[in-house]
Copies of this chain bind each other. A is one copy, B any other.
Amino acid sequence: MVKIIVDCFGGDKSPDANVEGSLAALEKFSDLSLILTGDENILKEKLEGKKYDPSRLEILHAPEVVGCDEKPTDVIRLKKESSMMKAIKLLREDDSISGMVSAGSTGALVAAATLRIGRIRGIIRPAFCPILPTMNGGIVGICDSGANVDITADYLQQYAIMASAYLESVYGIEHPRVALLNIGTEETKGDDLRKTAYPLLESTKGINFVGNMESRDLLTGKYDVVVCDGFSGNVLVKSTEGACLEMLKLLKRDISSSIFNKIGALFMYKMFMKEKEFMNYQNYGGSILLGTEKTVVKGHGSSNARAIEKCIEQAYKTKTGGLSERIEAALAENQKAE
């Protein structure tokens, strides 16, 4: 049985989306068991009349909620009874539980998880690895997208190792092509950090390093993993999402501006729906925090039930795919080599 905790009081659509997503995940995986954290009365009410296997669903009462603007240090110190902090505490203490999902405050989650869960031996700092769809129907993982902003080349090497193991174990991608985010493809490009990281990545065992990537190639499908500092990774992910979103808005506005466009759009309805669905990040789950001893998946703040279900699936597959073991083995191989 794979046991995962779901923080049901984090995210704009919680607790409804979180409860619904949890039930969908239970339905999907028969060897999955969930613990929902949050106000017990509300959760029981939401579950009333729903069809699920009660032996695979528990509730852990947590009367408090973490707001999205609260200071991480305050959350850790003062919000011990919140659905997020109780989830983290239980994850830490119960060895039979392998992971948790939360769509609550990113800052609080990273800080508390880093502090409380413990890192895989040898990992300097955990890092985020969100997944984006590529234009050829594949996916690309970006590590790090904002957990650590002031870093050294050693971090980038670990990101490459961890994200490769993640794409292999959860998405079944063999020998993921790893690229270093840079401002040009030539080996000598970039700032001091990139110039130090390039030869380090080249000499790293067990990864398939293919060189530098310019950010305009992120969605082309040429790469499976992109490693970067948290600052530029955040810029990369959010500007890509932002540009796609703004273009969709422009299309929508232009379509409604003329009767010809509206007629045209009717013909193309299926296509537009397909594209909207394709670019809907809710379908790609959340951003995993790589490097912690147990799995932490951060859902988008606006996660709907489908997104929460995908987050749980990601956490589930890190266990069944043996992510931690893969990361440990890859780290050991590189330490031996030194």
**Given B241, B246, B260, which contacts A267 in the complex, CB threshold below 8 Å?**
B260
Is residue A200 within 8 Å, beta carbon to beta carbon, of the partner chain? no
Residues of B within 8 A of A255 (CB): 268, 271
Is residue A109 within 8 Å, beta carbon to beta carbon, of the partner chain? no
Decide if A219 touches B246 in the complex (CB within 8 Å): yes
A135 to B234, CA, bound (A): 22
Is residue A335 within 8 Å, beta carbon to beta carbon, of the partner chain? no
| Chain multiplicity (copies) | 2
Residues of B within 8 A of A264 (CB): 263-268, 271
Is residue A115 within 8 Å, beta carbon to beta carbon, of the partner chain? no
Decide if A149 touches B268 in the complex (CB within 8 Å): no
Chain B residue with Cβ nearest A146? B183
Residues of B within 8 A of A219 (CB): 242-243, 246
Interface string of A187-201 (1 = CB under 8 A from B): 000111010000000
Stretch at the interface among A74-82, A209-217, A282-290: A209-217
Give the most central of A194, A236, A265, A274: most B CB within 10 Å: A236
Total contacting residues, chain A, CB less than 8 A: 53
Interface string of A264-304 (1 = CB under 8 A from B): 11111011001100100000000000000000000000000
Chain B residue with Cβ nearest A190? B149
A263 to B265, CA, bound (A): 10
Interface string of A314-331 (1 = CB under 8 A from B): 000000000000000000
Q: A191-B149, A268-B255 are in contact. Are A183 and B239 (CB under 8 A)?
A: no
CB distance from A111 to the nearest CB of B (A): 14
Is residue A58 within 8 Å, beta carbon to beta carbon, of the partner chain? no
**Given B216, B238, B247, B263, which contacts A247 in the complex, CB threshold below 8 Å?**
B247
Q: Which residues of A come within 8 Å of B, CB atoms?
A: 135, 146, 149-150, 181, 183, 190-192, 194, 214-220, 230-232, 234-236, 238-247, 249-251, 254-255, 257-258, 260-261, 263-268, 270-271, 274-275, 278
Chain A to chain B contacts (Cβ below 8 Å), 5 pairs: A135-B246, A183-B234, A215-B236, A218-B242, A258-B271
